[in-house]
Amino acid sequence: MESTALVSRLSSALPQDLDIKAYYLSSEPTSTNALFSPLPGDTEEHTTGESHFLAISSPGHDDVKEVLVFAIEILIFTRDNLTTLFVSKADSSGFSSRLKASKGFPSVVSTIISAFVDYLLEPRLNRSRVVLSLFARSQNQYLFPGSIENPGKHVLDDRQLIKWWCRVLDPVLRLHSDSSDPPFKSSAHLVVPGCDRGETKAFFPPSSRRDSTSSPKWINSYPVELLVADASRPPRHLVPRFPDDPKSRFLDDLDGEFVDNQGNWRSIKTLDHFWEMMSYRQECSAGRLVGFLWLVFSPGQTIHAALATLDPLNKEGSATTSENNVPLPTPGNSQAQDHGEEKIGEIPSADVGNEINKLVSPPSSSPGPVPQELPSLFKSAIGASNNHSTSHTRNKVEEHILQAHSKQSSATQGQLVLNPSQYQTLMDHLLQIDFAGEEKAAESTMSWIGKALELTGTSTFGLRIRGERVLVQPDEPETANATPINMLTSVRKKRKADKTDENLTDPKTVDSNSASSAMLLSAGMVRKKPKG
C-alpha cells in the first residue's frame, strides 16, 4: 500500500529540496501478551500488537550508491481503553551527513522522528487514551551492525540522550494540548532512577520553563493512575512489560524470586521502592543514567481522569490467555485516521442486540458479568452477561476485537505489510549484515531491501520524498519568550543558545551533521602571562 499520508507529512516537515527515500513496513495486528500482569487467578486482558519500522536512506545518484542512514521501530499495543506506542529502537548508520539540509533547519533525523510519531499517534487519539513510552539508554549501536566504526557516528552520552529525547518529543506533546480542538489533555512524565526531582527537572526541554507551575506539562513521576484502572494493586501489576526493556528484566527477576497468591513480591512492596531499586540495576548504574519517558494523551478532556473513570466496567483480565498470544517481534530482542463519522467497533443501534447474541449467546437463565474483552459499546448495551461462555464464543469475541483493531491500524499500515514471522526474519537479516564503511553499508542496504522484496513477493519498495518546507525568517529577532520551534507545524529561526542541542541528530546514537564547533574557553581557564 502506498503510504501517501506519511509521504505528505514528511514532505511538508522536511526542508525544501532535501531528497530522501523512506522504507516503511509494518506487521499485521495479532494477539499478543498483555503489557500488565494479571492478578493470580485472573486471565490476561486482550491486547493486540503490531510493529512499525521506518528506515531512511540517502538515494543513490551518478556514482554514489544508496545507503541507509537512520531507522526507528515503534511497537503499538491496543486494548479497549488504552493504546500504547513504545519506541523500541532508533539508530543511525553514521552517514547522516549525506542528508544535506538548508542551514538553519532543525536536524533531519529529529524532524523525521517527530513527524513519524505524530503520524502513528494522531489517528488513534479519538479512539482511546494514548500513551507514548520509551526508555533512553546510550549504546553504541542498535540496528546497524558495525556502524560504530564509522567516523561520522556520534554517540550521545546518557544525559545528552535523555535531554535529546525530551526536546524531540516536546513538539508532539504540545501539538495535542489543552488548546487544541477537540480538546486534549496531554502531559509528559519522566523518571530517571537515581536522580531526585531537581536533577530530573534539568532534563526537561527549555519550553517547560514557560509552563504554568499549577499545571505543568513536564512532570517527574510515573503516571500509574493514567495507565491502569486500579492503582492500589501490588507494584508487580502496575508496571508494563515491553520487549527488551530494563523494567521488564527487573520484573522478571523479581518474579523468579517469589510471588505470593495475591501477586506480592517479598522484597518490594511499593512503586516508589521499585523505582528506587531500579537505580541499582546494572543497566541504570555503572556510571550512566537511563531515562523512562511517558507522554499521555486523553481525548475530549481538559483534565486527566484516572483510567478507571473512563470505563468503569473495565476490569483486568480477558477470555484470552497467554498461551494463545505471540510475543511481538522486534529486532534482535535488544530492545486510524477517523474518516467521516464512522467509529471503530461501532454498529447501528438497531443491530446491537443481534451482534451481542452472535458474540456472546449466554443461557438466559444464568446472567453474569460482562466478558471483559467486549468493546465498551457492547458492555454498556447489555450491562451484564454470562461469564461461562464457551471457547468457541470466546474465539468469536476475540476475532471481533482483532478485526476492530486491525481496521483502526489500517490507517497507518506500512507500504509493505508482513506477518509477524516475515517481519522478524527481515529484522534478523538487518542485524546480520555489516554497515562498517560506506561500501559495505551500500551493499547491506541493497541486501536488506532485496530481502524485503523476497519475503513479500512484491516488485517495488521505497517512497521517494522531497522536502517542501521553506525556512521562515522572522521580521524581528526572537525574544526570550518567543514561541518555541514546532517541527510539525512551523519552522522558525533558532536562537543561538539552542543550536548545540538542535544539531544532535539521533536518539540512541547520533551522526554529526557538520564540522566540529569551535570550543570556547571559560573565563576561569584564561590566564594572563606574568610580566617580566
Q: DSSP for 37-50?
A: PPPTTPPPPPEEEE
Q: What is the Cα–Cα distance from 88 to 450, expressed in whole angstroms? A: 24
Prior bond of 331 cis (ω within 30°):
no
Residue 66 near residue 50, CB atoms below 8 Å: no
Q: How many CA atoms lie within 13 A of 5 on its CB side?
A: 14
Q: What is the Cα–Cα distance from 361 to 367, expressed in whole angstroms? A: 11
Bridging pattern class, strands 67-78 and 47-58? antiparallel
Q: How far is CA 124 from the centre of its chain?
A: 13
Contacts with 280 (C-beta within 8 Å, 6 or more apart), sequence order: none
Q: How many CA atoms lie within 13 A of 186 on its CB side?
A: 24
Which of 340-373 are b and which e, b meaning 16 or more Cβ less than 10 Å from the residue's Cβ?
Answer: eeeebbeeeeeebeebbeebbebeeeeeeebbbb
Angle at 130 between CA 125 and CA 131, to 5 degrees: 145
Q: Which residues are catalytic?
A: 245
- Give the three-class secondary structure for 277: helix
Contacts with 428 (C-beta within 8 Å, 6 or more apart), sequence order: 331, 332
Q: What is the Cα–Cα distance from 383 to 399, expressed in whole angstroms? A: 21
Q: How far is CA 19 from the centre of its chain?
A: 26
Helices (H) and strands (E) in the chain, counts: 14, 13
Write phi, then psi, for 177 (nearest 5 degrees).
-120, -170
Q: What is the Cα–Cα distance from 160 to 507, expressed in whole angstroms? A: 9
Q: What is the Cα–Cα distance from 369 to 372, expressed in whole angstroms? A: 8
Write phi, then psi, for 304 (nearest 5 degrees).
-75, 130
